Structure 1
Amino acid sequence: MSIDKYNAEGYYDPTAYEAMTVIEKEERALRAFRPIVYICSPYAGDTENNVKFAQRYSRFAVDKGYIPIAPHLLFPQFMNDADPTERKLGLFFGNALMSKCSEVWVFGEHISAGMETEIKRARWKNYRLRYFTKSCEEVQK
């Protein structure tokens, strides 16, 4: 949107121009800000479907104006979740990323052991927790 220095009647109007310029800059800054959210959903078990769900949840966060962090989509690409040592390290990495997020979003009705660990940590650190169904509808807990 281009802001004109002249009013509708053709007169130079610097006060209105400056005010509208400031408002436009503020709106642009607000559109650029996206808080980071931690995506907490099952991974172990049916990993193929759980990955698809985590991708859907991440897309949902993007569509709502957030930046999603889903460690269970990243770390299993180069770490072995079946190896207890690597799984523990992956959970540690996830906790480090969680500390950078403004909220933790928990998805699904089933809370896995890994999710329970993440939720306990989020509560312990007093992070904001939000719960969603598999179909991305928010529920109060």
Structure 2
Amino acid sequence: MSVSKYNSEGYYDPTAYGAMQTIEQEQRSLRAFRPIVYICSPYAGDIEENVAAARRYCRHAVDTGYIPIAPHLLFPQFLNDADPNERQLGLFFGNALMSKCSEVWVFGKRISAGMQAEINRAKWKNYRLRYFTEECQEV
């Protein structure tokens, strides 16, 4: 968006121009900063449905101005969740990523064992926790 130095009647208007420049600059800086949030939602069980839900939750984070991190969308791509050692490794990686996030967002009313471990860690480390419904409404 380009701001004109002239008003709608064609007259030079430095006051309006200055105000509009300031507003435009503030909007650009808001778009430039996006806090990182950790997405906590179920993976085990109905994996196909849970992955689709996690994608929706990440999209919600993006649409509201955040950068989502969802380890359960990333690590199962190359770690075997059925192997207890690899599952523990994935949880460890997730904890490392959680430490880089400004908030932990918990989605849904069902809290899986993995989610509970993430919530407990977030509480222990005093990370900000926010809870959302499956429809992405904050509770």
Q: What is the TM-score with the length of structure 1 in the denominator?
A: 0.86
Write the deviation string for residues 4-42 of structure 1: whole angstroms up to 9, x where unpaired.
335667665656645543332122111222211111001
Per the TM alignment, residue 46 of structure 1 is displaced from its structure 2 partner at its CA by: 1.6
Q: Distance in 1 between matches of 2:23 and 2:57?
A: 33
Q: Secondary structure at the match of 2:57?
A: helix
- Deviation at residue 67 of structure 1 after TM alignment: 1.2
Partner residue, 1:42? 42
Aligned match of 2:136: 136
Unaligned runs of 5+ in 1: none
Q: What SS does the aligned partner of 2:44 have?
A: coil
Which residue in 2 is equivalent to 1:88?
88
Distance in 1 (CA, whole Å) between partners of 2:128 and 2:47 is 27
Percent of paired sites with the same residue: 79
Q: Using the alignment, how far apart are the partners of 2:116 and 2:67 within structure 1?
A: 22
* Aligned pairs, number: 139
- Find the counterpart in structure 2 of residue 111 from structure 1: 111
Q: 1:62: which partner in 2?
A: 62
The equivalent residue for 2:3 is 3
Change (3 A) 1:9 1:57: closer
Bigger drift between 114-123 and 25-34 goes to 25-34
SS of structure 2 residue aligned to 1:138: coil
State the SS of the aligned residue for 2:129: strand
Equivalent residue number for residue 30 of structure 1: 30
Structure 1 residues 45, 9: CA separation in 2 closer, same or farther (over 3 Å shift)?
closer
Q: Give the letter aligned to residue 115 of structure 1.
A: M
